[in-house]
Amino acid sequence: MTDQATEPRPPHTTPLETARAQLASAIEILGYGEGLHQMLATPRREMNVAIPLRRDDGEVVLFTGYRVQHNISRGPGKGGLRYSSSVDVDEVRALAMWMTWKCAVVDVPYGGAKGGVTIDPRLHSQAELERVTRRYTSEIMPIIGPERDIMAPDIGTDEQTMAWVMDTYSVNLGYTIPAVTTGKPLAVGGSLGRPTATSRGVVHAATAALADAGVRLDEVSAAVQGFGKVGSHACRFLHEAGARVVAVSDEHGGVRAADGLDVPALLRHVQEAGTVTGFAGGEPISNAELLALDVDLLIPAAVEGVLDEESAARVKARWVVEAANGPTTTEGDRVLADRGVQVVPDILANAGGVIVSYFEWVQANQAYWWTEHEIAERLEQRMLASYRSVASLAHAEGLSLRDAALAIGVRRVAEAHQIRGLYP
């Protein structure tokens, strides 16, 4: 009999290890050879840049930034820009690889890319963040552009960041080029519906997964980890659809109310306090406790790796819908599968953001703008059609939704290589 207390813990799985293991699983399912595997595992192009910043008080500090283009065979690189003190090149490589499969699964004509700067944006003024963003953009100018690589917001960045990137790029070329970023403010060529698109897509994916089991959203309870751009709107949409949102959290901790949180009041609290903690309409709860709550639907919407072997073993939810990128490690995935938890994978569940980014890029390229209704309708159609093709393959082949989504995404990218003549 094993002594649980003395058994060594498995080493922490990094996002890149998770991404590589997922690719290996898809390669096996598809029966591809080692040459193609290596090509798909390796980023096509990477740039590391040094970003000196003169702080508001005159001190000079140096940051490191990255842009990784994992694959550009189906179109330009596409993916967010992350500002976080924990960003490193391997994390950006993993996020870029996930973008490649995501864009292919929902069939938007892009490859996959991601950027990051190792900086905690909460410790800097807007003026400092603007200088960092402009310097980072200037350094990576040679590899970005509307036909090369298009940026969008991710953790720690927002519409304003995208406006600075777009302006820096445009000023360097001498004319305005809105399509170099997406997730911009409307005033500079942003799209209606982009700020809420990822969250809407998550709720469409959740609705479809529940419907496959004959369950409606207004019958379920939900817990959401992360209350930023994605998590906060996801809570709002779940609440509006009649789901009982019983717990939410951010990096400081969480709040819980068994009968359901008053989400509009919670959103007002966060506007004032900057955190969900201290909300009078709920009891305090830790992030670890939130993941283990007895709810129907669990939505991780924060960072990678939160559902590992240990935390996954405590999950009581019947569905995990991954709003975050890479929230489940390979071991966590196995544990959830063994326990019968249905996981709607990140590359499908959170693709609403890149779908509406694609709509924004199309609109900017045409200089012709769609209505919010048109965008919401096209987003829903594409999310549901993508979910259906993933779920059908999973059903037909006896695969998990993750393996089915990866198989579709990886196969489409491999086909592009083959047809272009790059098949090794």
Ligand X SMILES: O=C(O)CCC(=O)C(=O)O
Site residues for ligand X per CB under 6 A: 78-80, 99, 102, 152, 154, 182-183, 325, 350, 353-354, 357
Helix and strand numbers, DSSP H then E, in the chain: 15, 12
The DSSP code for 121 is G
102 marked ligand binding residue: yes
**Do 113 and 58 form a contact (C-beta atoms < 8 A)?**
no
**Residue 302 binds which one of ligand X, ligand NDP, none, with CB within 5 to 8 A depending on kind?**
ligand NDP
Nearest approach in angstroms of CB 332 to ligand X is 19
User: Where does this chain bind ligand NDP (CB under 6 A)?
Assistant: 153-156, 198, 225-231, 249-252, 275, 287, 301-303, 323-325, 350, 353
For residue 43, count other CB atoms closer than 10 A to its CB.
Answer: 18
Nearest approach in angstroms of CB 353 to ligand X is 4
Our CB check for ligand X shows the closer of 184 and 239 to be 184
**Residue 226 binds which one of ligand X, ligand NDP, none, with CB within 5 to 8 A depending on kind?**
ligand NDP
Our CB check for ligand X shows the closer of 354 and 407 to be 354
DSSP string covering 240-302, please?
HTT-EEEEEEETTEEEE-TT---HHHHHHHHHHHSSSTT-TTSEEE-HHHHHT-S-SEEEE-S
The DSSP code for 307 is B
316 marked ligand binding residue: no
Q: Name residues whose C-beta falls within 8 Å of residue 31's C-beta, 6 or more positions apart in sequence.
A: none
Q: Name residues whose C-beta falls within 8 Å of residue 108's C-beta, 6 or more positions apart in sequence.
A: 75, 78, 354, 355, 358
357 marked ligand binding residue: yes
Our CB check for ligand X shows the closer of 190 and 254 to be 190
Check if 229 is active-site. Answer: no
Our CB check for ligand X shows the closer of 37 and 78 to be 78
Nearest approach in angstroms of CB 302 to ligand NDP is 3
Beta strands per DSSP E along 4-108 = 45-54, 60-71, 77-84
Minimal CB distance residue for ligand X = 80
The DSSP code for 181 is B
Our CB check for ligand X shows the closer of 102 and 200 to be 102
**Residue 250 binds which one of ligand NDP, ligand X, none, with CB within 5 to 8 A depending on kind?**
ligand NDP
**Do 399 and 21 form a contact (C-beta atoms < 8 A)?**
no
Active-site option among 114, 184, 229, 316: 114
Catalytic residue numbers, as ranges: 114
Provide the annotated binding site for substrate. 78, 102, 357
Provide the annotated binding site for NAD(+). 198
